[in-house]
Structure 1
Amino acid sequence: MLDYNLLEKYGREIAILFVEDDENLSKEMALLLKDIFYKVDIAYDGEEAFFKYMSSTNNYDLIITDIQMPNMDGIELIKNIYRINPEQKVVVLSAHSETHYLMELVNVGVFQFVLKPIDYDNFLEVIFNVSRNIYNKRVYKNEKNSVFIKLSDELSWNKQEKQLILNQKVLKLTKKEFLFLDLLMKTPQKIYTNKQITNYLYDEESELDILISNLKNLISRLRKKVPMLDIQNNYGVGYSIRIY
């Protein structure tokens, strides 16, 4: 079942250009899309759409376009846009009678289609999946470019300095606490196995059970020291850290 709360979350920063020569359908879809996305622009043919695309100060995250339109059809519009931005997300509206165009569109690089007449449940499902992809890529890019990994409202990890920051103050960590966090922060939310962690932390050639017991004590002390640090025990497999 479609999660409308998540769709609303994804749509808050997504700009859409909707291209359709049927004026009634355009108005109807504009009302639907404006309830979800922060910016929705309408164009009635490919030529107008391409002009808006080139004139936009902020790039459109998603283009939704019909195929058969006057002045410039949807295929030419997509080809022109891909020459400028090969990564542009596009959803194509296609009537059953236009299926012969689909292979050409796939060859161009389009993989998302919605058949007309539009089934709104199916349409929203496609839009949800595309929006999630756009949102996740944006979050990943922001996290990758940021020096800080946010762990709570007050807590963050400085990737460059490898420091745990609480309310803008550096927390003092023991050597083992530092090594443990340093490992988990290499790929936040990845589950590191008990063996991976103990190999990283301890040089001793002790039994794995003893090392895991030491690890559990270390994590217990760290949780008491920094309660808002969300260290997750993943069903006895290992540990991960939850980011905000």
Structure 2
Amino acid sequence: MKNYKTRVLLVEDEDVARKTLSFYLNTIFDEVVVACDGQEASNIFKKDFDENKTFDLVLTDLKMPNKDGISMIDDIRELVPNQRFIIVSAHKNEDDLLKLINLRVLGYFVKPLNIDNMMEMLKKAKEEVLADNAALNTHEVLITLNKRYTYDTKTDKLYNQESIVKLSKKELDILKVLIDNLGEVVPVEKFKQDVWNDINTNDSAFRTVMKRLKDKVKDDDFIISHKGYGYIIEKQLKK
């Protein structure tokens, strides 16, 4: 979309690397916000999140003072589980790679950087961002769940009128399963498979998370239980 402004958060503690990366990022993306360590980045991301602003990409080092890259990524994924990341590090550490396997990491670059490869990856990342944004614009972005609650499919945020409802990753995953199957009764087994990746997950584990989620929407609970079958969010009729 021509009017869509791409945003990147750059997290790098080394001055020279930060200036170099910032220069190249600014040649591709519309806005580049810079943080000097993981703690500052977590604070910036949280502040923007609370103001309903998101980053299309986070480019980060791993070994940094105050808070390392892995811990920062964990903070960010609590807010935006599907956040995109590109990693830049002085070393390709096997333990770090294992931790990053299940994250949305588009690339892992080792310093000193190969600028050509980096630029190619950044351009591909921007293409993905714009493609995703175009796809979102062909679908309903805000889903009305009832008179009080709405769900933003672009940012994966649940709103109680104007306020964001803070959800854990598991709570959000359950909600997304329900929204992906809007108007249909979702069996408990599907939640176990899609959220825990294990159909044999203990019933009490599922019930605990579902109860926490329902407690958070108790002002006007839109999750309906069909005893012996599963759960459903009814489709709202458009007026």
TM-score, normalised via structure 1 length: 0.52
- Selected match of 2:35 from 43, 47, 56: 43
Single out whichever of 93-102 and 134-143 deviates more from structure 2.
Answer: 93-102
SS in 2 for 1:96: coil
Contact 2:89-2:110 at 8 Å conserved across structures? yes
Give the equivalent residue in structure 1 for 2:25: 33
Q: Residue 87 and residue 73 in structure 1: after superposition, are their counterparts in 2 closer, same or farther (change >3 A)?
A: same
Would the aligned equivalents of 1:11 and 1:38 in 2 still touch at CA under 8 Å?
no
Within 1, Cα distance between the matches of 2:92 and 2:128?
29
Please name the residue that 1:122 is paired with. Answer: 117
Match of 2:7 in 1: 15
Distance 1:62-1:108 versus aligned 2 partners, 3 A rule = closer
Q: Determine if the alignment matches structure 1 residue 66 to structure 2 residue 61.
A: yes
Post-superposition Cα deviations, 1:180-231, rounded to whole Å, max 9, x if no partner, equal xxxxxxxxxxxxxxxxxxxxxxxxxxxxxxxxxxxxxxxxxxxxxxxxxxxx
The alpha carbon displacement at 1:14 in A equals: 0.9
Separation of aligned partners in 2, 1:66 and 1:51:
16
| 1:92 equivalent in structure 2 | 87
What's the counterpart of residue 140 of structure 1?
135
Shift of 1:145: 3.5
1:112 CA drift (Å): 2.2
1:33–1:76 Cα change, 3 Å: same
* SS at structure 1 position matched to 2:60: strand
Identity of aligned residues (%): 30
- Counterpart in the other structure of 2:211: none
Offset at residue 12 of structure 1 (A): 6.3
> What is the CA–CA distance in structure 1 between the aligned matches of 2:54 and 2:93, rounded to whole Å?
29
Q: Alpha carbons of 1:140 and 1:49: their partners in 2 closer, same or farther (altered >3 Å)?
A: same
Aligned CA RMSD, in angstroms, stands at 2.2
Q: 1:43 & 1:11 partners in 2: Cα distance? A: 26
* Alignment match, 1:242: none
Q: Which runs of 4+ in 1 moved over 6 A?
A: 9-12
Amino acid at match of 2:5: E
TM-score, reference length from structure 2: 0.53
Q: Which runs of 5+ in 2 are unaligned?
A: 142-239
Shift of 1:10: 8.5
2:107 to 112, 117, 120: 112
C-alpha contact (below 8 Å) 2:7/2:56 kept by paired residues? yes
Letter in 2 for 1:15: R
Question: Structure 1 residues 60, 11: closer, same or farther in 2, change over 3 A?
Answer: farther
Aligned match of 2:171: none
When Rg is computed on C-alpha atoms for both structures, the one with the higher figure is 1
SS of residue paired to 1:16:
strand
Tell me which amino acid in the other structure corresponds to 1:42. Answer: V
User: Which position in structure 1 is the counterpart of 2:237?
Assistant: none
* Equivalent residues of 2:38, 2:68 under 8 A apart: yes
1:36 Cα deviation from its structure 2 partner: 1.8
Secondary structure at 2:18 match in 1: helix
Deviation per residue, 1:4-43 (Å, 9 max, x gap): xxxxx99962100000000111112112211221110110
CA contact (8 A) 2:35 2:41 kept: yes
CA deviation string 1:52-74 (max 9, x = no partner): 10112321111000000001000
Alpha-carbon distance in structure 2 between the residues aligned to 1:92 and 1:62: 11
Structure having the higher helix fraction is 1
Structure 1 gap segments, 5+ residues each: 1-8, 147-244
Q: Quote the residue 1:181 is aligned against.
A: none
Contact 1:12 1:37 in 2 (8 A): no
